[in-house]
Amino acid sequence: MRKLHVAAAICSVLIGKGVLAQEAAGIDLGGFELYPSLGVGLSHDSNVIRSEDNEIDSWASTVIPELVLVNNYGLNQIQVGYRLTRADYFESTDDDYTDHLFFADAAFDLNVRNRLSLTANYEDGHDARGTSFSIGRGEELSSPDTYKNSSVSGTYSYGALTSKGRIDLTAGYSTVDYDIDTDEYRSRDRNTTNLASTFYYQVMPATDLTFDVIYNDIEYDFALDPTAPLDSEETRLLVGVEWESTAQTTGYAKIGNRKKDFKAEGRENFSGLDWTIGVTWTPLTYSIVDVSAFTNTNETNGEGDFIETTTYLATWEHEWLERVSTTVRTSYSEDKYTGGSDRKDENMALGLSLNYQMQRNVLVQLGYDYDERDSNRNAIDFDRSVFSLSMRVTL
């Protein structure tokens, strides 16, 4: 399940670009440019394990070094990178973690009508205690819930960007493997195969009609009940529009049908409305507003067959002075658990940051984040505040 706790990701404060982010300088390695960066931060978390009754407050330090190799030739680009994230909680060492992320992307402009993009990622990461499968019982774990996640995908695009019609064809594969080796935790490990296509038909110079077909095949490695595995197939059919009506506004809106069919007869299938919308508004050259909303069917985190989710997001970035800007982020989501469960969660998050571009290559941020969950399972309600001070340095 995708998490929406803005406050949960301390590193997002460290590596976020913000309005004032400047283009970093690189080191010439003969064909490739090396872009190193370092993020450091100090934060105070009022409820580390997101608990209603067993709150743990702690200061934490975060260090995020990153290396990115970039090769540009013509309109083509290859990028390979590595990021390490280390967090130490001064009053709660059980929550310390070290994450590793390896990533690679390639974009090839073969000719005016043919384009190809490839991406691959490998993450040795974690779910913080009190999130995902340990919601409401983070104290039962003695360390963060670590996992390995790998994914590859590719998109082939046919048709000139100025043509009346064009199409994107995408294929991908991803795996998630949690490190805890009990049956309960092994039952979360899964593989997902993704196939998708989007057809664009230009109806005006800056407006396209879109037609999306998306297919996901989700297979679990282990089932607690062999007669009722969580394996399923998801199909999405969407029709919509993408536009850039003025220099100030771009956006998209799509609506259609989503189906989730379980391979086990005893599981509860789903067929219903699917929609997504997003608008980017730039009323001033130094102010940007992003608003988006969407529905989703997320994999269960231990209760029910799956989770129906509706999410609303908004971000406002504004540059007040040449070196000073602010970022405001907010999100709200509703989670409805289906298949033998009546659980409903409401999640809300708010984030504020003051960004100061001390030098071209030094960004300092002062942040405050708040998130909460209100559920009809009172035991998993929580609220949490995080204050942070961070710095990101590039060449």
pLDDT at 181 over 90: no
Tens-place pLDDT, residues 25-40:
889 998 899 999 999 9
pLDDT at 13 over 60: no
Domains of the chain (ranges, CATH numbers): 6-394 (2.40.160)
The confidence score (pLDDT) of residue 18 equals 40
Give me the half-sphere count of Cα atoms (radius 13 Å) on the Cβ side of residue 338.
Answer: 19
The confidence score (pLDDT) of residue 311 equals 98
The confidence score (pLDDT) of residue 22 equals 54
Gap between the Cα atoms of 220 and 191, Å rounded: 6
Type of residue numbered 65: P
Tens-place pLDDT, residues 305-319:
999 999 999 999 999
The confidence score (pLDDT) of residue 141 equals 93
Tens-place pLDDT, residues 56-75:
999 999 999 999 999 988 88
Q: Is 246 exposed, middle or buried (0-12, 13-18, 19+ CB in 10 A)?
A: exposed
Gap between the Cα atoms of 297 and 268, Å rounded: 12
pLDDT at 321 over 80: yes
State how far Cα 26 lies from the chain centre. 27
Tens-place pLDDT, residues 324-373:
999 999 999 999 999 889 999 999 999 999 999 999 999 999 999 999 99
pLDDT at 171 over 50: yes
Q: What confidence tier does 216 reach under pLDDT thresholds 50, 70, 90?
A: very high
- Those residues whose C-beta lies under 8 Å from the C-beta of residue 44, and which sit 6 or more positions away, are 57, 58, 59, 60, 386, 387, 388
Mean pLDDT of 3-16: 36
